[in-house]
């Protein structure tokens, strides 16, 4: 043992003396609780909060618009063909300010494009694998076994067309189902899939929010969390909505590794329709979702101003899953 | 002029450049085709992209994180976390670090005293390096108060015990030649203990350095430099005394060498104490200071032993010897408290190893010539072992 180690070993013994004294003093201290924060000097800089220009987020103010705003709902017309082209590619994306991740991405974005159809449309999704590993698309919903994205593995350079009637109505999702499943989802192969009911929903300001995370150092834990991709994006670029009209959020959780994720809204309550496939709703300000769980949120904002929304797992919040609504008249 | 000189080609200094020029040529050819050559045998793995977090300091309202890039490729600081929360930060220096370059990350943060913290630094490639702090304790910066504090600690654990140990000089003078030889051997024993102690410190410290610093090589350099440096000094002392160069030193000259060896050890010890205090790793109590004083008082004895056998030394000279042996503890405490460089620590401890070993050799030569019965006599063997035992037992006081 070196003398330095001996020093370190002594420390607890030396510390034991004041500790013992502290234990004896405890009753007196309990009467007047006092916590000392060394950093709380008046002139000390404050613990910076994540809002305004302080927020580190990649991309410009409109970078995520295609993922946030879904294509419009079309009126009910049974048998109408809705075609989408989806290509899986290997691509480096910026998942947090200055942090780059080698993602696998449908059409180059994580999450992939919003796929939308009306109930009884014939959905035709032409999938091309432009990546370096075998991929598929597995849609949630009702479809034949051959269209499930489990057995029809598409090798690099190959393609496959998924074709089935869109049903049931609700908020769904799609993701790659190649093995290892965890890797293919963690790498970014997922997206939102909306099926509108035959009887249209009332007009609203519609938004899509896919909750996700990124494990950038491959240790099986997410380093960053976000909505529709990068960390802190909507904290830097708040989502502008009008108070006069309902805000409808199509919400899905595709976070890998963590058992649950959640959404909590500040300053208001909302109606939450689980899976969006019935009229049943819960009136709340917090919803919890496991991976693959999704639903529709409808907010009628009572006040204008800036309202935070975030995961009610504080850790996720502080690793990027946090944003603001800018509610205006 | 002898015949061998004529056989050398003319302009041999210029010819000495030839291998270097050929090397430059070979390097150029390889650089031009190197990548394709390496492709024949495989693909290089990606860089680890891990930072080396050298020091985490807690100041009022902020956390300061010192990071070094230990790898060949550049490394960029992209995200900083405290307890798994991304925090705003500024970098006191470049955010992109070249090989072995360092920067300090400053995080405004209201930390809680004595709480554990985990800080993380994530590279632009998403690789996170974390560093655990067992308990947050405020780091004192360079202030006149701190300067004085470290000086006092160095004085107490360095200069004072050595000076007190020199107080044994009168009684040593009164003892017989066998006793003096025994105490000289004791000096060699305690210096051997210090050499092993310093070598272990140096090896431990270098293990934490990025491999680019080549810790073992640094230790060898330090040991060789101090050993040979002191050998050179010893020769000069002999020459100054008008003796033949190989004659063993004695008296004040030998005591000076012992003082230098002990001084270099105390430099490393002061550095270790200073940095431990600065990083909040050490609860410095009265007990520990007393322990160091008792431990180091034997060092004074080591300096006194050679003087006892030689000419009288003035009080002023003794004071100088006490300063040479003890004052480096003050300097070490300052360096450790305000700078903390593990590279410097390794180097200092390595210097101490070489110096202690050289002095052991010098004392051995002296004892071999002067002791009744030479190196194999009972007092010498007993004294040497006693020196080790004394250091070991008093070492328990700082355990």
Q: pLDDT tens-digit profile of B330-375?
A: 998 888 877 767 788 888 888 888 888 888 888 888 888 877 888 8
For residue A2, what pLDDT band results from cuts at 50, 70 and 90?
very low
Closest CA relative to residue B256, chosen from B331, B313, B180: B313
pTM: 0.76
CA distance A188 to A89: 10
CA distance A163 to B181: 100
pLDDT (tens digit per residue) in A15-53: 444 444 444 443 333 333 333 333 333 333 344 566 666
Angle at A256 between CA A251 and CA A258, to 5 degrees: 95
Contact A8 B112 (CB under 8 A): no
B174: number of Cβ within 10 Å? 9
ipTM over 0.90: no
Share above pLDDT 70 across residues of chain B, in percent, rounded to a whole number: 91
B345 Cα to chain A: minimum distance (Å): 12
pLDDT at B365: 83
Average pLDDT for B67-88 = 93
**Cβ burial, residue B264 (10 Å; 0-12/13-18/19+):** buried
Contact, B359 vs B230, CB < 8 A?
Answer: yes
H or E element, residue B150: helix B144-154
**Cβ burial, residue B328 (10 Å; 0-12/13-18/19+):** buried
Residues of A in contact with B292 (CB under 8 A): none
Which residues, in sequence order, are CB contacts of B60 under 8 Å at separation 6+? Answer: A38, A39, A41, A44, B138
Contact B204 A15 (CB under 8 A): no
Average pLDDT, chain A: 87
Q: Which of residues 118-157 of B touch A (CB under 8 A)?
A: 122-128, 138
Task: Determine contact: B309 vs chain A, CB below 8 A.
Answer: no
pLDDT (tens digit per residue) in A260-290: 999 999 999 999 999 999 999 999 999 999 9
pLDDT at A15: 42
Task: Determine contact: B392 vs chain A, CB below 8 A.
Answer: no
**Selected residue of B84, B86, B287, B398 to mutate for chain A interface (largest A Cβ count, 10 A):** B86
H or E element, residue A91: strand A81-96
A244 Cα to chain B: minimum distance (Å): 35
Instruction: For domain B52-133, give its CATH number from 1.10.3470, 3.20.14, 2.60.40, 3.40.390.
Output: 2.60.40
Domain boundaries, chain B: 52-133, 144-398
pLDDT at A92: 96
Beta bridge partners of A211: A227, A253
Minimum-distance CB partner of B61 among A35, A45, A54 = A45
CA distance B273 to B337: 8
All domains of chain A in start order, with CATH:
61-328 (2.60.40.420)
Contact B126 A216 (CB under 8 A): yes
CA distance A162 to A153: 12
């Amino acid at each position: 043992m070196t003398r330095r180690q001996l020093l370190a070993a002594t420390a607890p013994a030396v510390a034991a003396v004041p500790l013992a004294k502290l234990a004896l003093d405890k009753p007196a201290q309990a009467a007047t609780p006092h916590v000392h924060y060394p950093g709380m000097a008046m002139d000390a800089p404050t613990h910076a909060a994540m809002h305004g220009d302080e927020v580190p987020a990649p991309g410009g103010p409109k970078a995520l618009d295609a993922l946030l705003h879904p294509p419009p709902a079309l009126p009910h017309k049974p048998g109408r063909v809705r075609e989408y082209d989806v290509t899986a590619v290997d691509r480096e994306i910026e998942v947090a300010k200055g942090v780059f991740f080698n993602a696998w991405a449908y059409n180059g974005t994580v999450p992939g494009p919003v796929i939308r159809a009306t109930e009884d449309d014939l959905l035709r999704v032409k999938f091309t694998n432009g990546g370096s590993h075998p991929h598929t698309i597995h849609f949630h919903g009702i479809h034949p076994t051959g269209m499930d994205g489990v057995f029809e593995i598409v090798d690099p350079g190959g393609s496959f067309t998924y074709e089935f009637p869109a049903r049931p109505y609700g908020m769904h999702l799609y993701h790659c189902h190649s093995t290892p499943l965890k890797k293919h989802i963690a790498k970014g192969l997922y997206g939102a899939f909306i099926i509108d009911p035959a009887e249209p929903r009332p007009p609203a300001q519609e938004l899509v929010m896919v909750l996700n995370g990124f494990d950038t150092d491959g240790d099986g834990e997410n380093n960053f969390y976000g909505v529709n991709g990068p960390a802190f994006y909507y904290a830097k670029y708040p989502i502008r909505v009008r108070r006069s009209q309902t805000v409808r959020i199509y919400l899905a959780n595709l976070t890998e590794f963590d058992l649950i994720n959640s959404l909590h809204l500040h300053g208001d309550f909302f109606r939450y329709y689980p899976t969006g496939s019935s009229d049943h709703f819960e009136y709340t300000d917090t919803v919890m979702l496991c991976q693959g769980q999704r639903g529709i949120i409808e907010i009628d904002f009572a006040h204008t101003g800036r309202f935070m929304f975030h995961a009610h797992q504080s850790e996720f919040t502080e690793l990027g899953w946090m944003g603001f609504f800018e509610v205006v008249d | 002029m002898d015949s061998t000189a004529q056989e050398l080609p003319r302009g041999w200094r210029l010819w000495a450049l030839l291998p270097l020029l050929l090397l430059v040529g070979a390097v150029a050819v390889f650089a031009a085709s190197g990548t394709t050559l390496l492709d024949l045998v495989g693909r290089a793995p990606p860089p680890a992209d891990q930072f080396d977090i050298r020091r985490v300091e807690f100041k009022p309202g902020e956390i300061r994180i010192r990071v070094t890039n230990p790898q060949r490729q550049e490394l960029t600081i992209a995200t900083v976390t405290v307890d798994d929360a991304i925090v705003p930060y500024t970098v006191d220096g470049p955010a992109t670090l070249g090989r072995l370059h360092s920067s300090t990350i400053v995080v405004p943060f209201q930390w809680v005293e004595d709480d554990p913290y985990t800080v993380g630094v994530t590279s632009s490639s998403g690789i996170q390096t974390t560093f655990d702090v067992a308990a947050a304790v405020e780091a004192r910066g360079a202030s006149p108060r701190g300067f004085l504090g470290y000086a006092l600690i160095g004085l107490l654990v360095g200069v004072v015990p050595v000076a007190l140990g020199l107080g044994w000089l009168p009684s040593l003078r009164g003892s017989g030649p066998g006793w003096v030889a025994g105490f000289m051997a004791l000096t060699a024993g305690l210096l051997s203990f210090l050499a092993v102690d310093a070598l272990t410190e140096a090896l431990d410290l270098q293990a934490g350095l990025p491999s680019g610093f080549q810790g073992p090589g640094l230790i060898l350099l330090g040991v060789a430099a101090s050993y040979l440096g002191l050998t050179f000094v010893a020769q000069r002392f002999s020459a100054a005394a008008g003796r033949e160069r190989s004659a063993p030193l004695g008296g004040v000259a030998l005591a000076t060498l012992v003082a230098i060896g002990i001084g270099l050890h105390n430099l490393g010890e002061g550095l270790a104490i200073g940095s431990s205090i600065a990083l909040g790793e050490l609860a410095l109590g009265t007990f520990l200071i007393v322990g160091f004083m008792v431990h180091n008082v034997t060092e004074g004895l080591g300096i006194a032993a050679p003087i006892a056998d030689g000419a009288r030394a003035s009080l002023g000279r003794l004071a100088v010897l006490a300063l040479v042996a003890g004052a480096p503890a003050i300097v070490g405490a300052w360096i450790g408290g305000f700078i903390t460089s593990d590279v410097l620590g390794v180097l200092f401890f390595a210097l101490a190893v070489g110096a202690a070993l050289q002095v052991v050799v010098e004392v051995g030569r002296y004892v071999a010539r002067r002791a009744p019965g030479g190196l194999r006599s009972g007092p010498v063997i007993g004294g040497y072992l006693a020196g080790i035992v004394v250091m070991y037992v008093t070492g328990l006081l700082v355990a």
